[in-house]
Amino acid sequence: MSDHVVLDGERLTVTDVIAVARNHTSVAIAPQRAARLSEVRRAVEEAAAGPDAVYGLNTGFGKLASVKIAPDQLTALQRNLIVSHASGVGPPLPVEMVRAIMLLRINVLLKETSGVRPELPERLAAMLNAGLHPVVPEQGSVGASGDLAPLSHVGLGLMGGGQIRRSDGQDPEPAGDALRAAGIAPIVFGVKEGLAFINGTQVQTAALSLLVHDASALWRNAHAAAALSIEALKGTPDPFDARLHNARPHAGQLASASLLRTLLDGSQIRESHRAGDVRVQDAYSMRCTPQILGPVWDTLEYARRVVDVELNAATDNPLVVDGELISGGNFHGQPVAMALDYVTIALTTLANLAERRLERILNPDLSPGLPAFLAAQPGLESGLMMVQIVAAALAGECRALSTPASVQSIPTDANQEDYVPMGMAAASKARRVFDNARRVVACELVSGAQGLEHHRPLRSAPQVERVYAWVRERVAPLTGDRSLTDDLERVADAVGKEAIV
């Protein structure tokens, strides 16, 4: 991995976002960008000084766009915009999210369409590299005209206002003190720059970028859990035959079936019951796994395509194009909000499916000879009874959160902004559902590993044995009742960070 990410407004990737947000990789600005930004900036300053009203340069904002601002008040206009809009509420966003936001904001400001001075992205990059992160409340953005409130809190920090959190996890401190200590001069937003800073979808896009990365790993881990359950339940891999799936060749379905074939290949458990098994077909939650998790992958791929575009898109207003300032609506977050809602629905589907398989392992009416709740002494002991109850609670919450936010528009700004996407509501729900889903998958992994204990000395497929070993590195076999909270959280934490296979 490179020791820094070079930004030019055109080539930012999800991999870069992860490197900067989580690994604290530093950023550098491509040298040629400063000169080009300075050229474009001249057109902005000329327009602001001219006799015509140009939105955001020498007028008010939103419903107040008809108010012409005097030339000697243009800097105050931009300052007032930032401080008035930095009015979010709720818990602060995590540092990794704020770092991703800052990265995306630098990248979009480097586009010629932004019309800002090079000093603005350079100063924000210095702040990011110094590990100084503005405290950004989670709530308060409807996702149109940009993520106004959260981006304003970032801008406020760059001005030396508000609070700053450092990378070392210390308590927040005044932004002005932190900038001084780092030798970074607070920015004074010039003409258009305050508006350019907060018009954009970078907060909801940062959330989607992190989510796409994490959900892709979780999708693979959901297959590891599925394979473990199928072995514990003495299921058959026959429904994953490539010929069957080639007859309905959705990309995600093909990938899911292929992964399951690899995971289940070479199982002694399967061979032990092949001849005498009277079951004709496994339940849907087992044999239809590719048809259910396949669309989840297709949804994640769609969301990734949205991210790939949005990371390098011009999303402020007005845009500087060929020396002209064109006012429009690229700040509207509908594409991102809808992708977040789709991912939420997909992750809920993944969680629901995992809960159904672990129910089959723990329910003696559904499992092939396994003890009730996999307890050593059913009745005296409850075994893993609560694991299914926990998974059901999490899956139920996922369902409640799967109502799309992107159709819940409430007009704002005196009905000037009369259709908004609620992108941050979609982002918050998606993050919550992801956390729930990884815990449900952890519940299935713990249950599947315990179920496999009852088939020893037979060995499952080699890849499933790897999954089993991965679980056992974190959770000891259940030999009697105990609290399972730490076990489940340990597995869930790992499931959300790394691919098992």
Specify which residues 28 forms β-bridges with.
Answer: 6
Specify which residues 4 forms β-bridges with.
Answer: 26
Please tell me which residue in 55, 284, 302, 419 is annotated as part of the active site: 55
346, 293 in Cβ contact below 8 A? Answer: no
Hey, how many other C-beta atoms are within 10 angstroms of the C-beta on 3?
8
DSSP conformation letters of 223-266: HHHHHHHHHHTT--SGGG-HHHHHTS--HHHHHHHHHHHHHHTT
Residues 6+ apart with CB under 8 A from 348: 395, 398, 399, 401, 402, 433, 437
Hey, how many other C-beta atoms are within 10 angstroms of the C-beta on 307?
25
Amino acid in position 247: A
If phi > 0 it is left, if psi is from -120 to 50 it is alpha, else beta; for residue 414 that is: left
Please give the DSSP secondary-structure letter assigned to residue 72. Answer: G
- Largest Cα separation within the chain, whole Å, is 89
End-to-end CA distance of the chain: 22
Residue 55 appears among annotated catalytic residues: yes
> Rounded to whole angstroms, how far apart are CA atoms 23 and 109?
23
The catalytic site residues sit at 55
